[in-house]
Amino acid sequence: MPVRSRHFTRRGAAVSLTAALTALATAGLTWNASATTAARTAASSVHTCTVGDLYLSLGRKEGAAGSLYQPITFTNTGRGSCALRGYPGVSVLDSQHGQIGAAATRSGRSYATVVLAPGHSASAVIRTTNGPVGGACRPTGTYLRVYPPASYQPVLIPAHWKVCSGTFQVGPVNTQGAF
């Protein structure tokens, strides 16, 4: 089972920081702004994950409300932390590595930078309809071609994935497993 990263999003960190400052003020204590600035600077210096830093795999398919979802897991196999931000590029390939239909479109969900410590994972969820619900299904693919965010080098993941009804979407990389 993949290890989940426990890093906050910027919004989550801001909410947590505000709550912590309120608690300190209530207790009559003060806060050291330079320590927070140093921590923020260290986090921003983490390099973007490359294909060489990552192991990509697929999680379990799940169906809900006429849709089929499957997470693509990005695990940091490097020696240091690295960051992912945004959406991966995903397309379905046949056994000869020919693309079947259009690449996945983005879900439109907001996102933040995810910092992965060595051995930690994050995921991006792909979605299609659970059968022909308003359109035909394309042939079942043999691979998913995945470009990690900010990468021009793809990874091929063996996968039996079939796009139905012209619906093929991908969510951003996140630690919540959200689409």
Query: What per-residue confidence (pLDDT) applies to 18?
Result: 37
Q: Residue 86 in contact with residue 172, Cβ under 8 Å? A: yes
Residue 16: the pLDDT is 38
pTM of the model: 0.75
Residue 56: both structure tokens together? 């990509």
Return the pLDDT at 132. 82
Q: How many domains does the chain have?
A: 1
Q: Which of 77, 52, 58 is nearest to 143 (CA)?
A: 58
The amino acid sitting at 135 is G
Domain with 2, as residue range(s), is 1-179
pLDDT score of 44: 66
- Positions of the chain with pLDDT under 70: 1-44
